[in-house]
Amino acid sequence: MRKFADTLVGLALALIVVGAWLTAPFAVVSGSMTPTLLGPHRAFDCARCGARNVSAIEVPTMSGFRPACKTCGATGPQLDLLPIVPGDRMLVDYTTLLFREPRRWEVVAFRMPESASRIAVKRIIGLPGETVELRDGEVYIDGRLAPKPSAVAKIRYDNIPGFPQPTQWKLAADEYFVLGDNPQISDDSRYWTFGAGVPSQLIVGKPFIVHFPSRTASWYGRPVHVPDLAAIRYIR
């Protein structure tokens, strides 16, 4: 029995060590990938239709502003009075991209070209050697429309109003063009002054699951953050 217990302990330790080498946990700290990945945010459930509405904290909020539900249009609660919910926590797979090249529309984690200590997460739009163009909210690759997958079908990829930038970019042979799923606030390939592409050697892995989402609950009249097991999800 003792030998069996020692074997189980050894196996558990081995799994922990191997797991730490194959994957790593990260916290999402911005709303640039909303709704796929949530950074710190405010949220409410619509009183009329029950739909979950999320607003990244980077979005400017006027005092007293009451947003409309994005599903049914009903007026929601006063946004600036809602508590801030912590961002998602995700696991990044270090191994998948060791055996194949990143694919278009895939979410990847990478080191920022101007600061290797910073890890960012975006969605790949353009592949090495391609010419990427943003036009009328759509993505064109080498002059041809690139159909969006269902995960981003409703997203319009436009430049932020008031920030005129190029709408066409030519990638080098080892660069990837990346955008956030929340283009209105995302700092991505459209605006980088060090170059639009992410060099392939800076891509570190593929985020694959949100493993510790949270929600706000009430505890004796005070808001508290609790795990939201129903929101555990794979990243598409």
pLDDT tens per residue across span 127-186? 999 999 999 999 999 999 999 999 999 999 987 766 667 789 999 999 999 999 999 899
d(CA 87, CA 54): 11
Confidence of residue 22 (pLDDT cuts 50, 70, 90): low
For residue 81, is pLDDT > 70? yes
Regarding whether 230 and 159 lie in a shared domain, the answer is: no
**Per-residue pLDDT for 207 more than 60?**
yes
Asked if pLDDT for residue 8 goes beyond 60, the answer is: no
Q: Do 110 and 220 lie in a common domain?
A: no
Contact criterion met (CB below 8 Å) for 198 and 178:
yes
Q: What is the CATH number of the domain that holds 124?
A: 2.10.109.10
Identify whether residues 78 and 117 lie together within a single domain: no
pLDDT number for residue 167 = 82
3-class DSSP assignment, residue 195: coil
Domain of 83, in residue numbers: 41-87+214-234
Indicate whether 183 and 99 sit together in one domain.
yes
Residue 188 has pLDDT above 90, yes or no: yes
111 and 166 co-located in one domain? yes
Both 185 and 219 in a single domain?
Answer: no
User: How far apart (Å, rounded) are the C-alpha atoms in residues 140 and 125?
Assistant: 10
Q: Is residue 58 part of a domain?
A: yes
Asked if residue 22 belongs to a domain, the reply is no
Cα–Cα distance measured from residue 123 to residue 127, given in angstroms and rounded to the nearest whole number: 11
pLDDT at 102 over 50: yes
Q: Are 192 and 202 in contact (CB under 8 A)?
A: no
Q: Are 86 and 40 contacting, i.e. CB atoms less than 8 angstroms apart?
A: yes
In degrees, rounded to 5, the angle at the alpha carbon of residue 81 between the alpha carbons of residues 80 and 83 is: 100
If one compares 12 and 121, the residue with the highest pLDDT of the two is 121
Contacting residues for 5 by C-beta, under 8 A, at least 6 apart:
none
Please check whether residues 72 and 107 belong to one and the same domain. no
Tell me the pLDDT band of 21, cut-offs 50, 70 and 90.
Answer: very low
By the 8 A CB rule, do 112 and 197 touch? no
User: Quick check: 14 pLDDT over 50?
Assistant: no
Under the banding of pLDDT at 50, 70 and 90, the label for residue 59 is confident
- Return the amino acid letter for 38: L
Q: What does the pLDDT average to over 35-64?
A: 90
Q: How many residues does the chain have?
A: 236
Please list, in sequence order, all residues whose beta carbon lies within 8 angstroms of the beta carbon of residue 88, skipping any fewer than 6 positions away: 27, 28, 37, 38, 39, 210, 212, 213
pLDDT score, position 60: 77
